[in-house]
Chains A and B, each alone.
Chain A
Amino acid sequence: MEQKRLAIIATKGTLDWAYPPFILASTAAALGYEVQVFFTFYGLQLLRKDLDGLKVSPLGNPGMPMKMPFGPTWFRGITWNIPNAVQAIVPGFESLATALMKQTIRNTGVASIPELRDLCREAEVQFVGCQMTVDLFGFEHSDFIDGIEYGGAATFFEFAGESDICLYM
């Protein structure tokens, strides 16, 4: 049986949206797929050497349940409906939400993003950085982890055109 191929375009640079590309890429690799992920626009943040800057923002995101990752069960069960106007005006709200999310991630046995990215590398998932975005945002290749190829739309299609599954996220 010919090896299946998965192509992913990763366009988001937040802690929450870092999960789908790395989870699917690592799992597909474990299932025997050849995988390439093309990181463009904010997705380039996922290739930075230091991933500590990834944050999650509940502001304007009505789909995100705000719960506390500590305290007694009844307290953890509360969903905190904090108005957008309040979230926007409180300094450091995003950092606080990110710290709480990271604790929830640890509590639930969900892998960290650096761990998932390492698992992808070990499984030989190919990472391609969008050179146009590197130029646009004023990044340097030295901002990113080693072993990445840089290319443009044509590079993406070279792999995606022969893929069995192609996902934009």
Chain B
Amino acid sequence: MNFDKELDARGLNCPLPILRCKKALADLSAGQVLKIVATDPGSVKDFQAFAKQTGNELLSSAEAGGEFQFFMKKK
């Protein structure tokens, strides 16, 4: 999937992945996509909740080799 910016949230624990994501999204314009890589298993549910409450769109959420990958489209 194409993306405009990547956020490395590996090794970070709650709530840092969400807070860093919020910050990274601020640098993007509407419609641009942020790729996030995290290792916190709690982030799977948290990014869904973040998207639902902020209106940003979670395009995909996947796990591979103990890492979680998210693509978030800015509102």
- Which residues of A does B touch, CB under 8 Å? 23, 26-27, 30-32, 108-111, 119, 123
Contacts and interface: CB of A to CB of B under 8 A. Distances in A.
Contact of A109 (B11, B19, B54): B11
Contacts of B54: 31-32
B15 A23 contact: yes
B53 interface: yes
A123 to B, nearest CB: 8
A32 B15 contact: no
Contacts of A119: 19
Contacts, number: 32
Main secondary structure of the interface of A (DSSP, over half): loop
Contacts of A109: 11-13, 16, 39-40
Contacts of B28: none
A135 B75 CA distance: 47
B12 A27 contact: no
Most buried by A among B11, B22, B39: B22
Contacts of A108: 13
Contacts of B50: 30-31
B58 interface: no
Contacts of A110: 13-14
Most buried by A among B12, B13, B16, B40: B16
B7 interface: no
A32 B14 CA distance: 17
Contacts of B14: 23, 110
